[in-house]
Amino acid sequence: MRKEQIAKGYRRQGLTYPDIARLMGVSETWAWYLCHDDARARFARKSSVYTSTSGTCVDCGGQMTKNTHQMNARGKRMERCRSCYLKHRSRESFNARVVGETLKCGICHEFLPFHAFPQGMLQRFLERGKGASPNCRACDTAARVAYRERQKHPCAGCGKPRLGDDAGRVVDTGLCVVCFNESRRKQGVLVGRQA
């Protein structure tokens, strides 16, 4: 039996789409598509248009799909496939952070000479040519001191060490991030995506 027939059979038995999805090991949306032939056909048409080729990449010569978008944010036509575009962006980003013998710190965002950074982190960053900038020694030390300080004083709510970043808060509440967010939720204040 095909998946569509199985899903339609479950639906005739009165099961909901979340139940069908759980039984078949698919998402709720796909369970809905399996039960509706016309919607599945529309989805297939859209996806075939979306992934149809739209040119060749200037770097690797491979075919580009429409998911690389015809125009970038500046209105310029895309020239690279997605993987080459991401490599190109990481090279540009790397070149913007390394200027001559200076490197932009990941915390204070100042350009500092190479000797202001821990040599192991600096060496790995320069070898990879991508990734987050290392932190200068001063910022790294300040971050470690702040972390140790949070470890010394347990959370007033649960008694566990206060892990997480307190830098975003104006007033130190004495709570860990979990207890702080829970107290805000109880007050009816939405906390970002966690609410």
Could you tell me the sign of the dihedral formed by the alpha carbons of 18, 24, 28, 29, in that order? negative
Q: How confident is the model at residue 53 (pLDDT cuts 50, 70, 90)?
A: low
Tell me what pLDDT residue 13 has.
92
In the numeric block, which tokens belong to residue 142? 């300040």
Q: Could you read off the pLDDT of 91-148 as tens digits, one per residue?
A: 788 888 888 889 999 889 899 999 999 888 888 888 887 777 888 999 999 988 888 8
Tell me what pLDDT residue 111 has.
93
Tell me what pLDDT residue 123 has.
86
Tell me what pLDDT residue 186 has.
83
Q: What does the alpha-carbon distance between residue 162 and residue 147 come to, in Å, rounded to a whole number? A: 9
Torsion of the alpha carbons at 104, 106, 110 and 115, rounded to the nearest 10: -60
